[in-house]
Structures are given as C-alpha cells and as structure tokens.
C-alpha cells in the first residue's frame, strides 16, 4: 500500500465515522494491485454530495450533478463520488440521468472495464465482483457487462479500451474487440479534444506502438468527428517505445512513424485542438525532419551535410533543433553524425551570437538591407564552427578586416 493511499485514509475515516460507507476505487486500486505508482486517489461513498461537503472544511463541488466533490485534506486533493447508477444515455457519450444509490456493487457495475471496477476498503480488503483482478493477471481487458451495450452507451470507452490495452499490455477480449469494430462509427459522437486526450495518454504509455497498431487495425480512428489524416497512416517504423519526455516530440514521432508529411500532421493537430505551443514545436520538428531528409537525399558527403546543418540552425528555433536531434539520433546514422557535429559547435542559434544587426549597421555605416541578415548568417557559421570567437570585440575586428579587404558584401 502506497503512502498516498495511507494518507487518503484520513478521508475514508471521516466518512466512515459519520456513518457512511467509503472505498478506494478506480485507477488507484488497479495500480495498487499491480504494484504500480498511483497518481490520484478516487474515493466512492454512500454519502450524498451535500453530506460530503458538510464533512470537510475545504471542498469544491467539481461535478455535483454526477455526485463528485473534490476535498482537500492536508494539502492533498481527493475526488469523492457518491455511489451512482447511470441511465438513459444520450448522444452515445453521456448518461441522461444519474441516480445515487447506497451500495458499492451497483456503483461498480456502471464502470467500464472489470479492472476499473474493483474497490479496496479501509481494511485493505479487495472488492472485485467482476473478476477484474483475475482478468488483469491473465492480461485481458474485459468490459463490465456486454461490450456492445457498454460502447453504445458511451463511445469513448472504445478509445479507453485501446488506451488501457497499450498502457497495461493487455489483449482485448474477443467480444470487446468485435464490438469496437462493429460500433467504431459511434466515435463520431466524441469531442475531438477527448480523442486527443486519449491519443496522448497512449503516446505516454509503456506500449504506445501497441495502441497505435490497435487503433489502425480496428479502424476506430477513421470514425472521428473530423477526419484525421492519421487514420490512413501506415505504421512503418516504430520509434514510439522510447520513453521520451516531451509531448511535442511524441506527437512528431507519431507522425514520422506513420510516414506523414508535416502539412498533414499540422492539419491533424489542429483538428485535435492541441495547444498552439505544442503544434508549433511538433510541426517545427517535422519540417526539420523533411529538410534534413532532402539534404540527406541530395548530399553525399558528410562535410556537405554539416554545412547544411548550419543552415538549419539558422532557420529553426533552438528548442526545435535540440528536440529533433534527441528524437532522431538514435534512429538515423546520418542524424547521429550530425548530432555529434552539433555537439562540437560553439553556438547553436543566431540568438547566441555576440553581435546583433544593429552592431553591423554601426560598423559598416551602410543603410539596412538584406545584407545584414546575410552577414549575420556568415558570422554565425564562422563562430559556430569555431573559426571565430564569439566575442563582440573579436567579431568587430574580424569585420573591420573584412571591410578593409573589400569583402563587406559577404
């Protein structure tokens, strides 16, 4: 039992002392059983939301209509949800009506998968009416009840199925898989943001390639509200298994592995409503990838490629060139060569150059024009490759010599 669960006992105890029943539920139970780290502790109780709020000084009614109250105890927040059943699903996505009930088992029944329908009580006893633990141990993902019914109630569960299969390396049980194929079209009722959230969770999981493969195999991805280019991608290289820390890198890797152009990727990322910052960085990495590929295709010598790399450093922001190298150096020999070259450079972006356009304007006493940019680029390459020191004075005297030598337009 992990510390987070032990701390949460304060919450459970308060509910029990007030005469209600209360259990740990959801992901924390599943992950505790597997010996994995847990991130958030969810609690289910027979207490009604108002009763919960009366018991805790700090509480936020985060989802009252669903029975959810967030309470803060000793700086830690917990979601406490009243036992409930759901009926009359509308839009293939949400229940039309929720009804609060007093028994744990009825609450567990509304949950999506057997491994998510387990509860642990204050005495650390497992309540597992649908055999979630045995399914987990046999490595199969099973819905609570008939898969086709459960997916018609809420189409998001199909994406969750594939996400869980990827996170826990599970085989999707046959009737569940068939239901995904049969009812996949209902995914068009799910908001694109939700699709993006599940995709990103898949990319962050231990077996992202498994998730993407299942998505493509099931055809599920071809049914999104807004059509994604991703859906017709072919998984031709697998770089997804590396645990990469940056979200933009993971998205870029996904598109590269599916052989997609940066434009198609950009379109998809917009449809998925990814944040502008994320879109900007990932499409930068993808454009860089295309650029380098063109160079690798046309340039035979290493020296030529290195020269091209300096052009790329001038063209792309520093964070993107760093992420690009980190992503590709382990997969591409020529990029690994570039990474080694890059590491030896003394600066990696124009911003790191010790002089600015204004300095040049002063030194040359010439009106501004395209020559400034060209001159800066020239100086950048000199400094980066180590033939000129990145120091204002040194650059000034170098420039002065150039002017005297009549090379000012270089």
Q: Is 42 in the site for ligand ATP (CB under 6 A)?
A: yes
Shortest Cβ 223–ligand ATP spacing (Å): 17
Which stretch in 132-140, 154-162, 331-339, 396-404 sits in contact with ligand ATP by CB under 6 A?
A: 154-162
Of these partners, ligand ATP, Mg ion, none, which one is at the site of residue 342 (CB under 5 to 8 Å by kind)?
A: none
User: Among residues 57, 113, 47, which one has the least CA distance to residue 80?
Assistant: 47
Query: How many other C-beta atoms lie within 10 A of the C-beta of residue 58?
Result: 11
Q: Is 59 in the site for ligand ATP (CB under 6 A)?
A: no
Task: Please list every residue from 262 through 301 that binds ligand ATP, using CB under 6 A.
Answer: none
Shortest Cβ 26–ligand ATP spacing (Å): 4
Alpha helices (runs of H) in 46-103, residue ranges in sequence order: 49-55
Residue in the shown chain whose Cβ atom is closest to ligand ATP = 27
Of these partners, ligand ATP, Mg ion, none, which one is at the site of residue 223 (CB under 5 to 8 Å by kind)?
A: none
Tell me the DSSP string of 202-249: HHTSS-HHHHHHHHHHHTGGGGSSS--GGGG-------TTS--S-HHH
- Catalog residues that contact Mg ion under the rule CB under 5 A: 27
Query: How many other C-beta atoms lie within 10 A of the C-beta of residue 104?
Result: 20
167 vs 262, beta carbon nearer ligand ATP:
167
117 vs 360, beta carbon nearer ligand ATP:
117
Distance CA 361, CA 370 (A): 12
Shortest Cβ 27–Mg ion spacing (Å): 4
Of these partners, Mg ion, ligand ATP, none, which one is at the site of residue 156 (CB under 5 to 8 Å by kind)?
A: ligand ATP
Bridge partner list, 98: 86
Buried b (16+ CB within 10 A) or exposed e, 81-99: bbbbebeebeebbebeebe
Which residues make Cβ contacts (< 8 Å) with residue 410, sequence separation at least 6? Answer: 374, 375, 378, 402
From residue 84 to residue 113, what is the string marking binding to ligand ATP with x (rule CB under 6 A)? ---------------------------xx-
Residue 162 phi, psi (nearest 5): -70, -35
Task: Please list every residue from 110 through 149 that binds ligand ATP, using CB under 6 A.
Answer: 111-112, 116-117
Is residue 116 a contact partner of residue 123, using CB atoms and an 8 Å limit? no
Q: Is 219 in the site for ligand ATP (CB under 6 A)?
A: no
Shortest Cβ 120–ligand ATP spacing (Å): 13
End-to-end CA distance of the chain: 68
Shortest Cβ 164–ligand ATP spacing (Å): 8
Interface residues with ligand ATP (CB under 6 A) are 26-27, 42, 111-112, 116-117, 154, 156-157
């Amino acid at each position: 039992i992990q510390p987070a669960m032990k701390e949460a006992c304060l919450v459970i105890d308060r509910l029990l002392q007030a005469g209600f029943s209360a259990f740990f539920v959801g992901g924390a139970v599943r992950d505790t059983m597997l010996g994995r780290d847990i991130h958030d502790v969810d609690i289910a109780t027979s207490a009604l939301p108002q009763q919960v709020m009366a018991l805790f000084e700090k509480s936020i009614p985060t989802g009252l209509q669903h029975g959810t109250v967030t309470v803060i105890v000793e700086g830690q927040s917990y979601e406490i949800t009243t036992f409930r059943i759901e009926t009359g699903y509308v839009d293939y996505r949400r229940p039309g009506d929720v009804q609060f009930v007093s028994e744990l088992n009825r609450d567990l029944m509304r949950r999506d998968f057997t491994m998510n329908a387990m509860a642990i009580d204050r005495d650390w006893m497992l309540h597992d009416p649908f055999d979630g633990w045995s399914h987990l141990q046999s490595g199969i993902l099973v819905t609570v009840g008939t898969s086709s019914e459960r997916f018609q109630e809420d189409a998001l569960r199909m994406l969750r199925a594939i996400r869980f299969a990827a996170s826990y390396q599970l085989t999707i049980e046959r009737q569940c898989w068939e239901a995904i194929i049969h009812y996949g079209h209902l995914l068009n009722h799910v908001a694109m943001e939700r699709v993006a959230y599940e995709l990103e969770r898949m990319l962050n999981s231990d077996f992202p390639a498994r998730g993407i493969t299942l998505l493509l195999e099931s055809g599920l991805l071809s049914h999104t509200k807004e059509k994604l280019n991703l859906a017709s991608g072919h998984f031709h290289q697998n770089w997804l298994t590396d645990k990469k820390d940056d979200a933009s890198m993971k998205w870029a890797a996904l598109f590269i592995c599916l052989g997609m152009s940066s434009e198609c990727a950009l379109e998809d990322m917009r449809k998925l409503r990814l944040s502008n910052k994320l879109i900007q960085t990932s499409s930068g990495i993808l454009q860089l990838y295309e650029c380098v590929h063109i160079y690798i295709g046309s340039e035979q010598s290493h020296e030529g490629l290195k020269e091209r790399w300096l052009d790329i450093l001038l063209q792309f922001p520093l964070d993107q060139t760093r992420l690009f190298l980190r992503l590709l150096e382990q997969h591409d020999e020529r990029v690994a060569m570039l990474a080694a070259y890059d590491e030896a450079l003394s600066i990696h972006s124009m911003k790191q150059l010790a002089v600015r356009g204004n300095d040049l304007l002063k030194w040359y006493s010439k009106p501004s024009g395209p020559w400034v940019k060209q001159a800066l680029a020239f100086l950048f390459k000199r400094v980066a490759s180590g033939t000129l020191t990145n120091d204002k004075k040194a650059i000034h005297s170098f420039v002065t010599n150039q002017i005297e030598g009549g090379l000012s337009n270089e």
